[in-house]
Amino acid sequence: MKRVVVTGMGALTPIGNSVNEFWTNIVAGKNGVGPITKFDAAKFKTRFACEVKGFNAEAHIDKKEIKKYDLFTQYAIVATDEAIRDAGLDFTTMPVEERYEVGVIWASGNGGIGTFEEQLREFHAGDGTPRFNPYFIPKMIVDIAAGVISIRNGLHGPNYCTVSACASSNTAIINAFDTIRLGKATIMVAGGSEAAITPSAVGGFSASQALSKRNESPKTASRPFDKDRDGFVIGEGAGALILEELEHAKQRGATIYAELVGGGMAADAYHLTGTPPDGLGAALGVSKALADAGITAAQIDYVNAHATSTGLGDIGELAGIKSVFKEVRVPVSATKSMTGHLLGAAGAIESIISVLAAKNGIIPATINTQNLDEHIPDGMDIVLGTSIHQPVNYVLNNTFGFGGHTASTIFKKWEE
């Protein structure tokens, strides 16, 4: 099969609105949490989140077009535009026949949930006469970001969305990886976006006991692996990767950040929202990714854990890692301690972290965690407090979602 490399990246996150700003703040251990500003959360049990700061859609998108797009699609546009520029691509000058071989697989867990809420509020505030915005459906549906990216760039290759809750964008990346490996495209835009800091999403996650309620100390709320953790901090944003067939990238003289060498997907088959204590789904996904890459657990130099700061989830994941790695000690960190949980966009954002960890030889730390949970399996090397500078050849990136979905990817440091 063909080899696949990463040639461009774009990021819009709670701690940076470009890849460079985002990575600098990840290495520095910056915290992205703050009070919710997108709606009045005074009566909610959770009143804080990791919001994108200083976003101005008009700086990136024509004013007439903005009204057609939900915020999750606006985020997708900004992140993919950066990734395309970063890859040195200009699809407007590419012959249309070549654009037949360029596709988009874009993920989101919630799609246009903000638009959905807004339209229903307007309907119920009226006299019952249905006066819905003509853009309501195309703004709301979860696949529309993939469609908009292809329309803006004239890309005629495979185009669809993946929805596997918080594993969605890792699933998109794996599908794009396979599409290129099988010779069905030369370039794929892959990633995910989420804009779910809305009343129904925050209220719904809170009702399911998933969100932290540490309103008196929100800066320390996202504390993966800590015995006092009480839930995740909801985040928003987008992450985009340009995946490209190796020989095509070399032929056009592209900058190569890393090679994507493996992807594995599985299911817990256990519970709607919970994780099995033995981490079976995690172990299966990781094992499949290792087999796909043709490497052993001993060759992994860093694991970017899904670790959202939930009681069962963090420990279940570590149990799954332990069952695969056995006596092999590998550095593990949870960067959601800085970004919060970007839901369907988490896998893409953490893929960017994984790529840059390998490229730069830096393992980001887990912040906020002060007292490790006593149920963490023995022999786990959790990176706390400060980033580590050391060689990184292979990085494993884990994601899991409600419904038992698991998706793991492996990136390899690029060397000619």
| Rg of the chain in Å (alpha carbons) | 20
Q: Which of 273, 416, 261, 275 is nearest to 351 (CA)?
A: 261
Q: Tell me, what DSSP letter sits at residue 112?
A: S
Planar angle of CA 220, 223, 226, nearest 5 degrees: 120
Q: Give the residue numbers annotated as catalytic, written as ranges.
A: 166, 306, 341
**Integer Cα distance of 47 and 140 in angstroms:** 25
> How far apart are the two ends of the chain, measured CA to CA in Å?
19
- Residue 299: how many CB atoms within 10 A of its CB? 16
Q: Is the separation of the CB atoms in 106 and 149 below 8 Å?
A: yes
Quickly count helices (H) and strands (E) in the chain: 14, 15
Quick count: other Cβ atoms within 10 Å of Cβ 136? 18
The interaxial angle of helices 19-28 and 346-360, nearest 10 deg, is: 70
Measured torsion, CA atoms of residues 339, 343, 344, 345, in degrees rounded to the nearest 10: -10
The phi-psi region of residue 52 (left if phi > 0; otherwise alpha if psi is between -120 and 50; otherwise beta) is: beta
Contact 176, 93 (CB under 8 A): no
Q: Quickly list DSSP for 242-263.
A: EEEEHHHHHHTT----EEEEEE
Give the strand pairing for 102-107 and 48-49: unpaired
Cβ atoms of 107 and 350 within 8 Å: the answer is no
Q: Count CB atoms within 10 A of the CB of residue 217.
A: 11
Q: Which residue bears the tokens 């994108």? A: 52
Phi, psi of 409 (to 5 degrees): -125, 155
Q: Which H or E element spans position 93? A: none
Q: How many Cβ atoms sit within 10 Å of the Cβ of residue 18?
A: 17
Length of the chain: 416
